[in-house]
Amino acid sequence: MSSIPWPFPSLGIKASLSAAASRRVLRWARKRQGIDPSVTQLRPGRVYILPTGVGLVFGLMAFAMLLGSMNYNNNLSFVLTFILAGIGFVSMHQCQRNLVGLELSFAGVEPVFAGQSAQFRVAITNHAKNPRHRIRLYTDTTISEIHDLLPGESKVFVLAVATEKRGRIPLERFGIRTLFPFELFRSWAWLHMSLSGLVYPHPADHAPQPPPTQIAHGHRQHDARGEEDFAGLRKFHEGDSPRHVAWKAYARSGQLLSKQFAGADTSSQWFDFNEVEADNTEARLSILTSWIINADRTREDYGLRIPGAEFPPSHGASHRRRCLETLALYGLDKRNG
């Protein structure tokens, strides 16, 4: 991802200097605004504005035209000059108003594997009776698509943040900005919703063979059991799948009963952190990740044993998520996790 400039036109200052200034300004804005709730409406006081490069050229041109008009005492070119100056002023206010009042709400981020980009989704709602033009979100490394928002419309903007390591990826700050109408000004707002996404370990590219499969004969009861043989009814317990509720029986007797099945033969395997043959923790986590993905893909049961946690063999999306989350956060500071 190429670096996206912050909303300061680079004025030819040394990069390190402007970076330092940028950091100071960001700290100031963060202190001034505090942490934003996950649904935030933009007040005028926090929408900042500065001229763009084009805007500076436009201003210089208007100034040159003013000098020319004064020199020739030409009243019509005065008119042209002042109309352009007026357009400058108007576009400044229009540019700021284009953001003020927008409502931003965090719409979630799906966990990704390290190396993929985390897609932070932010819904922006235009409550005004006029359309908003050319809106986009950005961070210092990434930028979203540009969208227009019709009156009352709500659209989801995606910020794809590149990831490198497993763990929580924080998005402390992102910005919303617009160049509308004439790109003479860039107005923007910073939001600090303290968002974070989960990054699973990168699945190992050449993982060794997983440990051998054990065949289990359905002595364990859980939702994921096979449904081959109906074995009878028992009293409904919280946690039983609604699919297994005997609705006909309920209609007759008014008593909730669950259908019991004789479990089919299920194969399951244990993935043990300590038994993975690898040099370091990260490599082990990568291999475990790779195993889990493969097992999940082939719909095999698997269990995970890792210092501090143990997940008995099972399958399904939530099992997979729990396991991968544990791997993602393994050994990381609780504060981050």
Partner 1 sequence: MVRPRGTDGSLLASLPWTLLALAVSLVPHIQFLPFWITGAFVICAGWRYVMEKRRRPLPSTWFRALLALICFLGVLATYSSVSGVGPGSALLAIMAALKLLETRKRRDQFVLLFISIFLVMSSLLREQYLWSLPYLLGSVVLIMTAWLRMSAAKHETAGRSFRTGTRLVLYAVPLALAMWIFFPRIATPFWSVPIDTSQATSGLSDTMSPGDISSLSLSDEVAFRVAFDDTIPEPRQRYWRGLVLTRFNGRTWSGTDPIVGARAHEQVVVSGDPIGYEITLEATRQQWVFALDMPWTWDLSRTFMGPQQQLARAQPIDQRVAYKATSYPEYRTDVELSSFARDYYLRMQEGSNPRSLALARSMRATVGSEAAFIEAVLMKFHEEEYFYTLEPPPLGSDPVDRFMFETRQGFCEHYASAFAVMMRAAGIPSRVVLGYQGGEVNPLGGHMIVRQSDAHAWTEVWLDGVGWRRVDPTAAVAPDRIEIARSGSMFGGAGAAWGLSAPSALLHQLTLTWDAMNAKWNDWVLGYGPEKQDRFMEWLGMDDPDWRKMMLTLVALVVGLILLISVLLSLRYRPPTRDRAAVLYERFVKKAGVEPHTGETPAVFAVRAETESQIPAEAIQAVTTTYLDARYGPGGLAAMQRLESAVAAVHRQ
Residue with smaller CB distance to partner 1, 98 or 314: 98
Indicate the Cα dihedral angle 132, 136, 137, 141, nearest 10°.
Answer: -160
Distance CA 109, CA 158 (A): 9
| List of residues contacting partner 1 (CB under 8 A) | 54, 57-58, 61, 65, 67-68, 70-80, 82-87, 89-91, 93-94, 97, 100-101, 127-130, 133-134, 146-148, 151-152, 179-183
Retrieve residue 229's tokens.
């043989």
Q: How far is the CB of 131 from partner 1 (least distance, A)?
A: 9
Residue with smaller CB distance to partner 1, 124 or 179: 179
Residue with smaller CB distance to partner 1, 35 or 83: 83
3-state secondary structure 73-93: CCHHHHHHHHHHHHHHHHHHH
Q: Is 282 helix (H, G, I), strand (E, B) or coil?
A: helix
Residue with smaller CB distance to partner 1, 133 or 222: 133
Q: How far is the CB of 179 from partner 1 (least distance, A)?
A: 7
Retrieve residue 206's tokens.
């050449």
Residue with smaller CB distance to partner 1, 66 or 216: 66
3-state secondary structure 198-232: EEECCCCCCCCCCCCCEEECCCCCCCCCCCCEEEE
Pick the closest to residue 112 from 181, 30, 56, 167 (CA basis): 167
Residue with smaller CB distance to partner 1, 143 or 199: 143
Report the run of H or E that residue 195 belongs to, with start and end: strand 195-200
Q: How far is the CB of 126 from partner 1 (least distance, A)?
A: 9
Rg (CA), the chain: 29
Q: How far is the CB of 151 from partner 1 (least distance, A)?
A: 7
Residue type present at position 124: I
Q: How far is the CB of 36 from partner 1 (least distance, A)?
A: 20
Q: How far is the CB of 93 from partner 1 (least distance, A)?
A: 5
Residue type present at position 260: Q
